[in-house]
Chain A
């Protein structure tokens, strides 16, 4: 099934109000969109709520839903607008509204954020499929921010092994991510 067919199928389901379609959309995009939103609002909790709101909104307006672009860019754009509105609200609460111009502030910036988010999402996906020990060490290093020595001690391994596993992870990632690394 081509991307377009997939989009059409999902959009049809969304318009019809099928729970299965909303669930599929959620599975496919929730994590990605939440991370994207977080790049704007810098608050993971808030970011997830913004995306949840979008899903509810999609359902509420399903009868009049028109998507002319791809489903993906529609979703990214919607999330971005919601984030900017959210920021505007916060700024409004801080009585600082005059200088805020979201439309000008975004543009290529949003493109870059989408690219980053997608790259990171791909990394996340690939890492979750790395061999057990390799994944564990890589996550300890990158997510927990541990030094190689600490990792070696915790797992009772040599520092050299830790280095080897990290470079193995990076090599695999670089291999799989060639399309995302251009530019």
Chain B
């Protein structure tokens, strides 16, 4: 931008004109200045454009109202949108509902607090029916339940113990916690207490018998009558409760976990025992007919096999024939 007047800046010259504070000679002076250089004219025109438009900024001043946001917000009612479907509700109805909701929530919190702080935790009951089921307990312990079993445990354990109930059969892998005894009540006539171990527990409610196989760690096993004289079982041991009495043996049964693993192992096992295992495993009846020999033994391993393939294998190995109807399999000599 060029200057041709020593006492006036370009902006000053323009401002005089724009603010109408100019003399006639100053106006002529401006004309001359603009004609001197297109840049000068451009400078004037741009400044005038700004000048003209800047009168409109009062629109923006009057529009710059954050309180208008509140108007919009009131109309939109964001809270209500979380529960869509009733746009017809009147404002005060909503206000009433809001107040009611607050009261209900407070009541709810009160009730929950009572339940959580002053009451025993809720018990969770699992009934497996036709399916096996795996459960992870609040302490991380793992319970694998067999079919037709019932298991009850609290949503959270108490401070000093972990108490659960079992009917049927389950494999337990108990998370170690020396401060919290893990206690299983079996049909309320036998009790197993552990600190952290894995074992299989099987109960028959019909005759009140209980079998326990300890896989690792240490387990104490007792009935309400033998509380004072608890049976301690360690790894590889098994115990049976029959008619109120507990007997301990070394675990020879290799198939106590078959319901869980799907694997049956027989090592020179008497056919009667094999069929008994198969009975439980396949939930079918097995019978043996017309056998003159009374000592037939089987050595085999069935890994998640279908019943038919197991039967065929026995037929081949032991040279037995069988018939198969709906629920019963009968083995007999050819």
A contacts, CB < 8 Å to B: 17, 19, 22-23, 26-27, 30-31, 34-35, 38, 44, 47-48, 52, 55-56, 59, 116, 119-121, 123-124, 127, 138, 141-143, 145, 147-149, 159, 163-164, 166-168, 170-171, 173-174, 177, 181
B150 to chain A, nearest CB (A): 45
The contact sample of 24 A-B pairs, CB cut-off 8 A, is A17-B81, A19-B73, A19-B76, A22-B78, A23-B69, A31-B60, A31-B63, A35-B60, A38-B59, A52-B68, A52-B71, A56-B75, A56-B76, A116-B56, A120-B53, A123-B53, A123-B54, A138-B54, A143-B55, A145-B55, A164-B12, A166-B19, A170-B51, A171-B11
Among B15, B59, B60, contact of A163 (Cβ-Cβ < 8 Å)? B15
Q: A56-B72, A123-B50, A123-B57 are in contact. Are A48 and B12 (CB under 8 A)?
A: no
In the complex, chain B residues whose CB is within 8 Å of the CB of A145: 55
B91 to chain A, nearest CB (A): 15
Among B20, B50, B59, B64, contact of A174 (Cβ-Cβ < 8 Å)? B50
With most chain B CB atoms within 10 A of its CB, the pick from A124, A145, A159 is A124
B contacts, CB < 8 Å to A: 9, 11-12, 14-16, 19-21, 43, 46-47, 49-51, 53-66, 68-69, 71-73, 75-76, 78, 81
Interface of B: prevailing SS: helix
Interface of A: prevailing SS: helix
What number of residue pairs across chains A and B have CB atoms under 8 A from each other? Answer: 116
In the complex, chain B residues whose CB is within 8 Å of the CB of A181: 46, 49-50
A137 to chain B, nearest CB (A): 11
Q: In the complex the two chains form, what is the Cα distance from A168 to B15 in whole Å?
A: 10
In the complex, chain A residues whose CB is within 8 Å of the CB of B12: 163-164, 167
In the complex, chain B residues whose CB is within 8 Å of the CB of A26: 69, 72
**A44 close to B59 (CB less than 8 A):** yes
Q: In the complex the two chains form, what is the Cα distance from A57 to B20 in whole Å?
A: 46
In the complex, chain A residues whose CB is within 8 Å of the CB of B64: 31
In the complex, chain B residues whose CB is within 8 Å of the CB of A27: 66, 69
Q: A48-B68, A123-B57, A142-B57 are in contact. Are A30 and B75 (CB under 8 A)?
A: no
In the complex, chain B residues whose CB is within 8 Å of the CB of A19: 73, 76, 78
In the complex, chain B residues whose CB is within 8 Å of the CB of A166: 15, 19
**A35 close to B59 (CB less than 8 A):** yes
Closest to A116 in B: B53
